[in-house]
Amino acid sequence: MANKRKARMTYKELELIADIINESRVCFEDKNDATINHIAEHFAAVLPRTNPRFDRKKFLRSCGVESG
C-alpha cells in the first residue's frame, strides 16, 4: 500500500511565501495595503493545513501585516 502521509510545508517554504507577500508591497505601492493584507490573511487561513505547527501571528508579522 502506498504511503499516504501528507506533505508538509517547511518553515523555509512558509518564510519564502511571507517574504514574497511582504516584498510585493513595493511592486504594488500604488495599491492600498489592504489588498496585500487580504492576500496575506487568505494564506494564513489556508496554510495551517500544510503544517500543524504553523504560527499565524508570526507569518502575518513576516508578511508585514500589523496586528491590531
Task: Quick: pLDDT tens for 40-61.
Answer: 999 999 999 999 899 999 999 9
Amino acid at position 68, single letter: G
Would the pLDDT of 2 be above 90? Answer: no
Q: Where does the pLDDT of residue 34 fall: very low under 50, low under 70, confident under 90, or very high at 90 and above?
A: confident
pLDDT at 62: 93
Query: Is the Cβ–Cβ distance between 43 and 20 less than 8 Å?
Result: no
Q: Where does the pLDDT of residue 31 fall: very low under 50, low under 70, confident under 90, or very high at 90 and above?
A: low
pLDDT at 42: 96
Sign of CA dihedral 52, 33, 21, 38: positive
CB neighbour list of residue 64: distance below 8 Å, 6 or more residues apart: 21, 22, 25, 36, 40
Amino acid at position 61, single letter: R
